[in-house]
Structure 1
């Protein structure tokens, strides 16, 4: 039997339902031109990662020092919600890649502080392409549909939450199995998640890095030739990065923060109370305003929140970085990335999020 693929994590942490493949490098400029012209979908190409510089790596450690305890509080709160809502078995299904470290942490927190065993799988979901249905069927051969808990790091515009709902509707039609599209996140900026520990735009430390904090896997890859076969979506495993991997370091550090928070203050409810309709309305208003102000032809080019802005500056063709406060500790890594890539930065105290990034339209 082939051993499960766990990336650089241990088998006790996660099983990636992804197929490691070789992938040619597509430079960012070429990738953006192909995406925006409609010739290729973003998930069919990959710009290969490079290891972060020492200066940028320090910004990750700074983020961990700044918000490790805050993230720990939210992990405890999210684990409590899962414990309350799943009375029998628990199967965490994290959405690769940002959801994976959160899923690993939740698995350990559930065991340590709630005495609940949880399986953990990480699977692919891609905008416009949907969730990996083969991976979903693989999970349902082992777990009841009622046990599934979909996990991600955050919501930005809510695109992936809506994609999850649409994908599970399609799955119900094709497979006759209805799975609730309940997404659990640390923070929900757009009112799109079913369960969230927070609604604030804050710096989740794992968002600062790419594969080196996510089991050394790339984002997931759509393979047209394998779409209808018994094969998972693809990914690249960055084996050469193993000496520099911080995935276990991040998990161990965060679990120490969780232990400290639990011992000192227990599990505290979030003080930020916003209804989802208010969040959705604020999200839509922001998208409409920014699209009009910067003459953007599609909301896909607008990425609200620190997490989404970081993704753009790390791996897309960014045209502009918007900040609420240029001196915020939470966005220092974004300023560093913008300056290193000569990306214009604008500061607006009226910004509803701490940061947002705009993808540069290829004319």
Structure 2
């Protein structure tokens, strides 16, 4: 293992005992671009990780959507967090190092850590690091973790799967670390929901709304998406991010964790039932969701796979922070898509019934080139 000179400095609004972000603080820089102009640059070849979307003060309707989703799905999220946490603990036990993928994985990692502490009385180390589609893991962060915990076993954590791009990027990064540094890692991604059939380590394959998808930094420790721009990130740095301290008064990060953690004590019977059911299932990785994406690309004449964002979480994000073209919905009556229909009406985005897919819905981004 090569020496790593990157150093840890606290960033974000979570307590260090909840998570340590291994990210370079870029808060002083102006990296944001307006949605339309940023979309044009990305579609013209700029990598999405070189800049950031603008983090707006959350509009009231989005806050209401978040609170409604949290109330509706807090028990379901808690149940499937616990199901995946039990699988992790059974596999790696007290040697586990939770490494969530910033930023959607971060609250899930904290929830897994909280549950295992409540249930088994253990306090696992938890870090959040950057992974960038098409580039890979922050290998400086991985090496920092392994130096800090030489006998630990890393478990990567995220919120959900879409078409599987991050799962594939993770596997490629782990293979490179093995070939270049002799580091062998478990490349399975632990997620709450796996509608894309991208991993064997999941809580459910239902495509439902994980409430944190409704908001950005204000439910993820006030940390931005991660940045890899060579103008600011050197070869010995961690990938970067910004800390939006100016949004502290609307930070719901701790509230989100508290509400779902409070559900853990209410679902013990359901957990046993779910684990028993899962132990008898033929669970395998097929990336069937990606086959759906390829079919959608053909039917809608899309040449760029990054314009297709499958799943409730990704579709919600398309409507909140991208330039949507149209939204495909499997079942208009499904409770999982009612907020999607509301957002489409508000933004005047076309909705099309598309029943033959693994996902509850799929967002198609407008080609603005």
Is TM (by shorter chain) over 0.5? Answer: yes
Provide the residue aligned with 2:274 in structure 1.
269
Provide the residue aligned with 2:191 in structure 1.
185
Provide the residue aligned with 2:79 in structure 1.
73
Provide the residue aligned with 1:44 in structure 2.
50
Distance in 1 separating the partners of 2:318 and 2:346: 14
Moved over 6 A (4+): none
Is residue 323–residue 351 contact of structure 1 (8 Å, CA) maintained in 2?
A: no
TM-score, structure 2 normalization: 0.91
Superimposed CA distance per residue, residues 326-352 of structure 1 (whole angstroms, 9 cap, x where no aligned partner): 343322332233233322111233343
Pairing 1:306–2:312 present: yes
Provide the residue aligned with 2:41 in structure 1.
34
Provide the residue aligned with 1:240 in structure 2.
246
Q: Which moved more, 1:265-274 or 1:246-255?
A: 265-274
Provide the residue aligned with 2:230 in structure 1.
224
Superimposed CA distance per residue, residues 300-337 of structure 1 (whole angstroms, 9 cap, x where no aligned partner): 21111101112222222221111123343322332233
Pairing 1:334–2:340 present: yes
Distance in 2 separating the partners of 1:145 and 1:30: 47
Equivalences for residues 1-363 of structure 1 within 5 A: 4-21=9-26, 22-38=29-45, 40-144=46-150, 146-225=152-231, 227-262=233-268, 265-269=270-274, 271=277, 273=281, 275-277=283-285, 279-280=286-287, 282-363=288-369
| Superposed displacement of residue 3, structure 1 | 7.3
Distance in 2 separating the partners of 1:197 and 1:134: 30
| Superposed displacement of residue 130, structure 1 | 0.8
Change (3 A) 1:66 1:11: same
TM-score, structure 1 normalization: 0.93
Superimposed CA distance per residue, residues 69-107 of structure 1 (whole angstroms, 9 cap, x where no aligned partner): 111111111111111111342210000011000001111
In structure 2, stretches of 5+ residues that fail to align are 1-6
In structure 1, stretches of 5+ residues that fail to align are none
